Amino acid sequence: MLIAVQCMLVLAFAWATFLELALTLLVRVGPGGDTGEDSDQAMWLGRMPWPYQLLVAGAHGLDNEQVDEGRRGNSMPWWHRDSGAPIGGFGYKTTWIAVKARDPEEIAEALGLIEPRPLDWVTGTDLAYKHGVYVTPRLGDWTLAHGGEGLYHPFESDGTYGARAPWLGALSARLGEVQYFHTHRVPDDHQWAIAIDGEVLREFDCCGMTGEFHGRGEPTAAERAIGKGTRTLPDDTSDWTDAEWDAFYETVPSERDVMRIAGIWSIDPSTLHNEDVTGDGVFGEVRRAVSETGADR
């Protein structure tokens, strides 16, 4: 028994030593060959299991606040973190809207952004993964607004976030055509919706974690083309056969399918690169409150 315990301790120490050495190489060389700074160290540390975070943080002189920063930063794709130079693009683990033929200042005003200010694409997109909303410059016929928490609206109000349809309808009454997208792989949560001139024409939501599926309106040509989001669950599935379940699951979208729908409807933001975006957009915060009816106010 004692030998077994000693072997386990030796293995644990060897594993921790290996991780420490690996992290040292990562933070000193960095993913792009540059010398790592404290923010880089925190970011790489945030990718590790928490027991090893505690062990390695001390070796690099990182405090708890820096470790927490690393954990938060890892909610966004690696190309939009503070460490290193972003190459562009967003879409995964966040929320955004696409608005047709409108300038960023108009969209910022319609969203009620607090203290809006001009901001470049790289900085604004990076910030919007953490807080607030960034409205891009015009991208051809479309302008995007990106903000994970700031723009998130579920199908039905949950008491924290207002229901989507009233908010999206009111927004499109001011702006014309407005498309909404959300995806987050952790709860397997994927959403899209479209409204034109105040009318919400289509909504689809699915959440693998809760097993909830919601739909409003008929599936669009884009959804039918890729075969995703075309069905929701009926109230009673007790008599479904395996073949029926298989057919249903074939229509359940992934995060990549959200990008595909966005690309057909307007712009797939994950394909954007820094050189595609010129000029400043608008960044601001959002103040949110949910009324008794479940709508934002």
Q: Does the residue 84 lie in any domain? A: no
Q: Does the residue 197 lie in any domain? A: yes
Quick one: 129 and 266 in the same domain? yes
Quick one: 218 and 264 in the same domain? yes
Q: Does the residue 81 lie in any domain? A: no
The answer to whether residue 290 scores a pLDDT higher than 70 is no
State the pLDDT at residue 296: 54
Domain containing residue 32: 2-74
Quick one: 174 and 101 in the same domain? yes
Lowest mean pLDDT among 68-82, 239-253, 267-281: 68-82
8-22: average pLDDT: 54
Quick one: 67 and 98 in the same domain? no
The answer to whether residue 268 scores a pLDDT higher than 60 is yes
Share of the chain above pLDDT 70, in %: 67
The answer to whether residue 118 scores a pLDDT higher than 60 is yes
Model pLDDT for residues 32-85, shown as the tens digit of each residue: 333 334 444 444 444 444 444 555 555 555 555 444 444 434 444 544 444 343
Quick one: 41 and 139 in the same domain? no
Share of the chain above pLDDT 90, in %: 57
Quick one: 223 and 112 in the same domain? yes
Q: Does the residue 25 lie in any domain? A: yes
Structure tokens at 280: 């400043």
Q: Does the residue 83 lie in any domain? A: no
Quick one: 34 and 103 in the same domain? no
Quick one: 257 and 198 in the same domain? yes
Quick one: 40 and 109 in the same domain? no
Quick one: 104 and 228 in the same domain? yes
pTM for the model: 0.71
Domain count, the chain: 2
The residue count for the chain: 297
Of 19, 43, 74, the one marking the end of a domain is 74
List strands edge to edge, sheet with 177-184: 114-119, 281-285, 133-135, 142-146, 94-100, 177-184, 189-196, 199-207, 212-216
Q: Does the residue 86 lie in any domain? A: no
Quick one: 147 and 181 in the same domain? yes
Q: Which of 167, 169, 205 is CA-nearest to residue 184?
A: 205
Quick one: 40 and 104 in the same domain? no
Q: Which of 235, 239, 197, 196 is CA-nearest to residue 214?
A: 235
CA distance 105 to 42: 35
Q: Does the residue 65 lie in any domain? A: yes
Q: Does the residue 296 lie in any domain? A: no
128-152: average pLDDT: 95
Of 74, 106, 129, the one marking the end of a domain is 74
State the pLDDT at residue 85: 39
